[in-house]
Amino acid sequence: MTITTAHEASGTTLSEQSALGAHAPRTQRTGRSLPFNDELHLEAHRWLVDEAYLLDEQNYDEWLSRIADDMHYLMPVRVTTALGAGYSTSPGMAHMDENKYSLSRRVARFATEHAWTEDPPSRLRHYVTNVRTFRTEKADEIIVESAVLLFRSRGDVGEAATVSAGREDLLRRTGTGWHLARRTIMLDEAVIRMQNLAIFL
C-alpha cells in the first residue's frame, strides 16, 4: 500500500499538498519491505502495538510525547471514481489535516467541559495488522505501513461503529526512542459511518 494516487504522480507526497503539511518531512521509502524478523521491523511493529494501547486507553499526553515536532497527521477525503480516473482522494480536502500543535489542542479540549463528544469517553479498540517496514534514504527514519480497524462504542444504547483504514507512517529514531513524524490515513470507505471523529487512528 503506497499512499499515492495518480494526481500525486509527480513524486510529491500528500502532505505537500495540504494546508498544514508544508513543514512535513518528505522522506520516501527505498527498496523492498524488510523481513519480518528484521530488527527494525520488530521495533516498528512493537511501536505500533504500544501506540494502539495508548490510544485505546486515551492516554493522549503520553501519545503526544511520542510525536515529532514536525509531525503531519493527514486523513484525506476518499472519493469513488471510474476505473482510470486518476485519483482516489479529493484534492485539498481532508477529514483531518493536523500538525503537532493542532493535535495538542484537540487533546487539551478533552479535559474541558466542551468535549461533549467524549463525555462519557468512548470505549476504543485499535486492531493493527499487516505491518510492513521499509528503509529510507535516511538512516534514522523508516516508513511503516499497517492496516488498522477501530471499534468504538459510546454509551449503553447506541450502535457501535467501526472504521477500517490503511496507514503509512514515518518513524524517526531519536535519543529517546522512535517518534511519529508523519501519518497518512486512507479510509476504506468514502462515507464515514460514525457520528464524529473526536478520536485518533
Q: Quick check: helix, strand or coil at residue 90?
A: strand
Distance CA 88, CA 79 (A): 5
Q: Which three cell numbers stand for residue 65?
A: 510525547
Q: Which has the closest alpha carbon to 160: 151, 168, 171, 172?
A: 151
Q: What is the pLDDT along the chain (201 residues), one digit of tens a residue?
A: 445 433 344 455 677 667 667 778 889 999 999 999 999 999 999 999 999 999 999 999 999 999 999 999 999 988 776 565 555 655 667 778 999 999 999 888 877 766 666 667 888 999 999 999 999 999 999 999 999 999 998 777 678 889 999 999 999 999 999 999 999 999 998 878 777 777 899
How many Å apart are CA 66 and CA 110, to the nearest integer?
Answer: 19
Taken in order of first residue, the domains within the chain and their CATH numbers are: 15-25+33-187 (3.10.450.50)
Contacts (Cβ under 8 Å, ≥6 apart) of 32: 134
Entry pTM? 0.85
**In this structure, are residues 98 and 72 in contact, taking their beta carbons and an 8 Å threshold?**
yes
Other CB atoms within 10 A of residue 39 CB: 9
Residue 108 identity (one-letter amino acid): A
Which segments of 21-147 does DSSP mark as H helices, in order? Answer: 39-56, 60-64, 100-109
Contact in structure between 60 and 168 (CB atoms under 8 Å): no
